[in-house]
Structure 1
Amino acid sequence: VTVLERDLLPAGPEARTGTPHCRQAHTLLKAGLNALLQFFPEFETELELAGAVRARAAIDILVETPGFDPWPRRDFGFDTLCMTRPLVESVARRLVERQGNIALLPQCRVRRLAHSADKSSVSGVYHDEANGQPCRLDADIVIDASSRGNLTLDALHELGLPRPAETEIGVDIGYATAIFDIPPGASREWRGIIHRPDAQSGRGAFLFSVENNRWQISLSGMHGDHPPDDLQGFVAFAKTLRTPTVYEAIKDATMVGVIHRFVFPCSVRRRFEALATFPKGLVPVGDVICRFNPAFGQGMTVAVQQVSVLKTLLDERAGNALPLNDVAPAFFTAIQGVLAAPWGVAESDFMYAKTRGERPVDFQQRLKFGSMLQRVAIEDAAVHKVLTAVNHLLIPPTALREPHIVEKVNALMAVSN
């Protein structure tokens, strides 16, 4: 396996230009951590040794949502780890580099995909080496994890094949993220705060304890209402949130470094599964297929889950001596279950009046059901546990449609009406 990476890879947990969103707060959901442990059993231990902060789900992470500020604290038996994105990358990269059959080549910029003479398959990549020398690398199978997906889309055009249809949810969300030293007298009742925005303001926040005894805090605003990148404005923006929790935490804290901003225009889902023909030897993954509003913290986890699906399919082919280069159609079909839950969450952005895109026909009913479901979960610890597992992508959202849960939601709806 040869991995071509455009950036000069740092030795430790440092931000790099190839991941412009890496300075913003990130979450590795429990399902994402579980999937990574399948590849690297020591991953969780290595993260903690590198400084990641262990937090008990629904206890150490304070969750504030409109009407429920905060949610009750309940122990559902699993932990999450809080850390910066560069720390996750650094640990993952170190573990990959220990694999004897993987060559990691930095400062190699892939220009385009190579294809067979009959244009039926992708056969490698054209790239520039670290010294600028153009080169071709042949491969049995090419995995496009280049985020925006231009390599795959350009290859389809070059091969005379149609692009996949795209569904967009225009959110125009802007982030500003700062690092603060944790003050000596800071609250020890929580290790993180998730402040979900309401439909009127669209302003939200994340605060996580991260490595080096610091807080990483991301403030966000929808549809052009973006937080500023100066300390005074940053703190003032935090003061406008629905609750004072984040503001009270940072108002007297010392900021480290500068504030970094990031703008995310839209969630995008490409319907590769609907294509009648797709070139052999090529498999796009991650954001190439589907990217979500980062406010929901699903991106890293969904990417790892996709790779887990791909591993299963490749293992099956290797065991049965089947060719590896025809795996893409089966992969596109198999990941639809992985994408369904996070895309359903992304569609909740239609609660904002300015969100662009085609709203699902049943959106209002879903919104009402979700609101009542939260009210049930507040009172019923068992339902709260299921909801938490769904939010961590551990179980499918269909678990929330079990008859005993729907019955409780419908009963509350009847009373509310």
Structure 2
Amino acid sequence: MVDHLGERAVVLGAGIAGLLTARVLSKRYRTVLLVERDEIIGVTGTRRGIPQGSHAHALLAKGQQILEDLFPGLLAQMQDDGVPIGDMAGRLRWYFNGARLAQKDCGLLSVSATRPQLEAYIRDRVFALPNVEVRQSTVIRGLVVSDDRTRVKGVRVAGTTAEADDVLTADLVVDATGRGSRTPAWLEEFGYERPSEDSIKIDLTYTSRNFTLTEDPFGNDLAINPVACPANPRGAFFVNLGNGEALVSLTGIIGDRPPGELDGFLDYTRSLSAPEIHGAVHTAKPVGEATSFRVPASIRRRYDKLSRFPAAFLVIGDGVCAFNPVYGQGMTVAAMEAVALAEHLEKGQPRPVEFFRELKPIIDVPWSISAGGDLAFPEVVGKRDLQVRMGNVFMARLHTAAQVGGRFTAAFFRVAGLVDPPQTLMRPAFVLDALRTARRVVKGRPARGADVGLSSATR
């Protein structure tokens, strides 16, 4: 028998982070109530509360592993339904610094579901739990606290058209509302310190369009992804949706805005380092209209540095750290945080200050990866210490070596997939091998032991 920690937990927000949090809490509370502003029951398309939902998403390998642990059989169900799933380094075609990387299986899977698809699969599993309830089309007004303001006792809500508030009492409230979380303001309202913030201003814009293709540029690959770099700050994610359909998500950093109108969109694809994207879409038929989404900055709220926090209240997901989405880390980090919450609750009642400190090492690695990558762009403002500068120099060499050595591609994506720690790329023998191979590539000489890997479409 599981010892319950309370009668009811309330989760604010029913996105990926909120759903995974509800799954974990269902083991520890008799009832879990999800509160969501949008209508979500039976919804399989994009929704207002997830403005990034129309754009390319990828679930990193670590996130895929966690989802399978939380929802056994989910991967097989998605595969049976035709969701594209394949090796991160072997079946995704990557371009870094303008050059294509050799492909080689790294043993880790990437799930290329759209955001609405993935959310719908997880939502169906969570809503099937007997003690999970949902209150949709509901506006969150604020928190209810004890008279001495040391404990959160519930949340004030109202229907989207209602004037009067309802109070939902709870033994635990978890804020999973994402980047727009109001917890810092609520803390200040109740006499607590707001968390400090680490911010990397990236001024990123996504513009996405769907197309029906007249030719197949993918072969056996799931996606073609030219990554923005200082020499060309334009990138894209070109995703094979199956049945001749494809999604193109263009990215522009430091104020570069991929246009939505068709002629400008197609011209933008011409500037990408993966020429096969323009080759495919300039003859393709556009489906629907373009959508755009802006991300001014990556933001990390340092709850781990606070010494006081109201009891029975936690924050999780993008409300703690909202990453640059081009790295695909947000959903996976939310899954890792949900696992951390499950482990935290095994010790008894939630202890907010301790929990946030337990999240710190989980966030540190992906934050260093994304922040370090962003700081490679000279226009991005931020502190470039020796570790960042040396790391970016080595990453450039590693990606050069990976043009001819699939083993370097595989090693890199095991780290980027948040499975292997970054230290695995710093082993002396590996570093020496990468530097020697990169030097040979730059000099135009064949690399010793090169293991160039190409997709089946180009073999």
CA contact (8 A) 1:83 1:209 kept: no
Change (3 A) 1:390 1:37: same
Give the whole-Å Cα distance in 2 for the aligned partners of 1:338 and 1:211.
Answer: 34
Name the counterpart of 2:356. Answer: 332
The answer for the alignment partner of 1:224 in structure 2 is 255
2:400/2:438 contact within 8 Å kept: no
- State whether structure 2 residue 111 is matched by structure 1 residue 78: no
CA pair 136-177 structure 1, distance change in 2 beyond 3 A: same
Identity %: 29
Structure 2, unaligned runs of 5 or more: 1-31, 443-459
Matched, 1:121 2:151: yes
Counterpart residue identity of residue 241, structure 1: L
Distance change in 2, residues 1:258/1:164 (3 Å): same
Whether 2:81 is the aligned partner of 1:63: answer: no
Question: In structure 2, how many angstroms separate the alpha carbons of the residues matched to 1:393 and 1:9?
Answer: 30
Report the 3-state secondary structure (helix = DSSP H, G, I; strand = E; otherwise coil) of the residue aligned with 1:9.
coil
TM (norm. structure 2) is 0.84
Q: Would the aligned equivalents of 1:286 and 1:302 in 2 still touch at CA under 8 Å?
A: yes
| Unpaired stretches in structure 1, ≥5 consecutive residues | none
- 2:328 aligns to what? 297
Q: Are 2:290 and 1:264 aligned?
A: no
**2:273 is matched by which residue type in structure 1?**
R
User: Residue 225 and residue 118 in structure 1: after superposition, are their counterparts in 2 closer, same or farther (change >3 A)?
Assistant: same
Q: Distance in 2 between matches of 1:413 and 1:215?
A: 34
Aligned-pair CA distance for 1:363: 2.6
**Among 377, 391, 411, the residue aligned to 1:352:** 377
Name the aligned partner's letter for residue 406 of structure 1: V
Distance 2:382 2:304 in 1: 21
Instruction: Verify the 8 A CA contact 1:84 1:211 in the aligned structure 2.
Output: no
Deviation at 1:56, TM superposition (A): 2.8
Deviation at 1:231, TM superposition (A): 1.3
Query: Contact 1:51/1:210 (CA < 8 Å) preserved in 2?
Result: no
Q: Counterpart amino acid of 1:394?
A: V
Whether the 8 Å CA contact 1:83–1:211 is kept in 2: the answer is: no
Give the deviation of 1:151 after TM superposition: 2.8
Larger CA deviation: 47-56 vs 279-288: 47-56
* Shift of residue 205, structure 1, vs aligned partner: 0.5
Tell me the equivalent position of 2:420.
395
Q: Which residue of 2 aligns with 1:6?
A: 37
Say which SS state the counterpart of residue 88 (structure 1) adopts: helix
Q: 1:93 to 1:282 in 2, by over 3 A?
A: same
Secondary structure at 1:351's aligned position in 2?
coil
The 10-residue stretch of structure 1 (378-387 or 208-217) with the greater mean CA deviation from structure 2: 378-387
TM-score by length of 1: 0.92
Aligned positions of 1:103-252 closer than 5 A: 103-129=133-159, 132=162, 133-183=164-214, 185-210=216-241, 213-252=244-283
1:45 aligns with 2:76: yes
The 3 A distance-change label for structure 1 pair 414 and 50 is closer
C-alpha distance in 1 between matches for 2:308 and 2:431: 41
Return the letter of the residue paired with 1:268: I
Structure 2 counterpart SS, 1:22: helix
Give me the CA root mean square deviation.
2.2
Contact 2:102/2:402 (<8 A) preserved: no
The answer on whether the counterparts of 2:140 and 2:158 sit within 8 Å (CA) in structure 1 is yes
8 Å CA contact 2:401–2:434 kept in 1: the answer is yes
Q: CA deviation at 1:374?
A: 2.8
DSSP 3-state at the match of 2:179: coil
How far 1:48 moved relative to its partner?
Answer: 2.8
How many matched pairs?
Answer: 409
